[in-house]
Structure 1
Amino acid sequence: MQIYNFSKDNGKKIGIFNSNFIMSRIIETNKGAHIGCMYLEENGIIGYHQATIPQLLLILDGEGYVCDEKKEYFKVRSGDSIFWEKNEWHETKTETGLTAIVIESEELNPSLYMPKKHWDVSSVSF
């Protein structure tokens, strides 16, 4: 499991075509990709399972916890993205709710565009 940051602070100001916005690049793929939006309500959970394909989870709103195959939990919030390789065991849960976009594709390399997140605290146990 790798955790990245796609927040506004890591974006680039775009001014071409009289534009005025910040773009945080996330991923590029030459192979097909499945993209979906997940809504976890209070005490929501994406149960512990093995990734059938590389997965990138982008937290848009709210906060929660993700774990790796060691069952070590890490707190994530809006602006964080979590990458799991194919066959990696993982889980996502929230006490207060979160909204996330999931991108699944055989060809994902989030480190091309997003910096890895630096942790202020160690993992959390449940």
Structure 2
Amino acid sequence: MEIYKFNKENGKRISKFNSDFVMSRIIQTEKATHIGCMHLEENGVIGFHQAVVPQLLLVLNGEGYVCGDKKEYIKVQSGDAVFWEKDEWHETKTDKGLTALVIESEELKPELFMPLVNTCS
């Protein structure tokens, strides 16, 4: 399991075409990619399971805890991105609620776009 940041502080200011915003790059793929939004309410959980393909969880709102194979939980919050390799066991849970996008694809390399802040076994 790896934790990345996609918050505003790790983005790049864009001014081209008279624009004024910050872009935090996340991922680029050429193969089929599935993107979904997960809404975990208070005490919600995405149960302990194996990733079918590499998976990137982007926490948009709220906070919670994630773990990998060893079930050692790490706190995550808005702006954190969690990456699990194919076949890696993992779980996500929250006490207060959490909204996250999930990106699943055979071809995910988040290290090309976001700074790594934590690696967990």
The reply to whether TM is greater than 0.5 is: yes
- Shift of residue 10, structure 1, vs aligned partner: 0.1
1:70-101: CA deviations, max 9, x gaps?
01000000000000000000000000000000
Aligned length in residues: 119
Structure 2: runs of 5+ lacking an equivalent: none
Residue 48 of structure 2 corresponds to which residue in structure 1?
48
Greater share of strand:
2
The one-letter amino acid of 1:91's match is: E
How large is the Cα RMSD of the aligned pairs? 1.0
Structure 1: runs of 5+ lacking an equivalent: 120-126
In 2, the alpha carbon distance for the partners of 1:106 and 1:53 equals 6
**Runs of 4 or more consecutive aligned structure 1 residues displaced over 2 Å after TM superposition:** none
Secondary structure in 2 matching 1:29: coil
Distance 1:49-1:116 versus aligned 2 partners, 3 A rule: same
Q: Note if 1:107 corresponds to 2:104.
A: no
The one-letter amino acid of 2:55's match is: Q
Which TM-score applies when normalising by structure 2?
Answer: 0.97
1:27-50: CA deviations, max 9, x gaps?
000101000000000000000000
The percent identity for this pair of structures is 69
Secondary structure in 2 matching 1:69: coil
Secondary structure in 2 matching 1:52: coil
Which TM-score applies when normalising by structure 1?
Answer: 0.93
Secondary structure in 1 matching 2:117: coil
